[in-house]
Structure 1
Amino acid sequence: MTSSKPIGEWRDVYDFLEQVRLRPGMFVRRGSLVELQAMLYGYRVASEIHGPQAVMDFEHQGPFAEWLWLRLGRTYASPLGWAVEITQAAEATGRAGIDLFFDLLSEFKAERSPEVR
């Protein structure tokens, strides 16, 4: 079982996302995936400015989004972005968007292993 870690022990964006998964209310107001997506964009910008540049799978048209469109049976990339699409898919099934996101993230990581931890 994973436990919370201090920021100084985080190695990459996946460590950050694991902390969000453990305590979503601490990081993301009302479980908003749009807010989480904005935070991930800020993470990428900060890594470009301050280095080293992080591998970023969560761009609007990045590897996670490309994988998601296929996973959702889409033949096109949504202009709304992955956060909105996951939120809408979750609402259609009565789930919380953040819960669906972390389920999908687990699938994404499993399919890409060992490339992604």
Structure 2
Amino acid sequence: MPDEETQPPRVKPPSESRDMYGLLDEVRRRPGMWIRNGSLRDLEMMLVGYRLALDVHGVEERFDLWPDGPFSEWLARYGRSSAVGWAAEIERQVEPGTTPLESFFAFLDEYRAEHREDDGSEME
């Protein structure tokens, strides 16, 4: 019988995520369950849908990941800005030896560390 350390992490349904970052933690753990072939554009569209659902249901939550939002503006400091959004730009300029998804999460972690007091969330 496998022990807890060898079992894959339990998949949480989206309803158990406390916010967008909780959902992104699940995507990071099991990306193949959430997005096709590690496509950041698919992830970006999933997040746009998430934000639209917040609006439809009247839920207040900070959302910095619009294609032209604060996260995109922050990426521009690294010469990574694009009229088509953060996903396309990260995919276009991915560093050798890494995947676009790995690059995205590295940038997101850095962004969150710099903006932790702004978003009111704790990094897990």
How many residue pairs get aligned? The number is 111
> Does 2:33 correspond to 1:29?
no
Q: 2:79 aligns with which of 67, 73, 78?
A: 73
Q: 2:111 aligns with which of 103, 108, 111?
A: 108
Q: How does 1:1-117 map onto structure 2 within 5 Å? A: 4-70=11-77, 72-73=78-79, 77-90=81-94, 92-116=95-119, 117=121
Q: CA deviation at 1:17?
A: 0.5
TM-score after normalising by structure 1: 0.85
Q: Which has the larger radius of gyration?
A: 2
Aligned residue identity for 1:98: L
Identity %: 43
Q: Which has the higher contact order (CA 8 A, sep 6+)?
A: 1
Q: CA deviation at 1:51?
A: 1.9
Aligned residue identity for 2:100: G
TM-score after normalising by structure 2: 0.81
Structure in which a larger fraction of residues adopt helix? 1
Q: CA RMSD in A?
A: 1.6
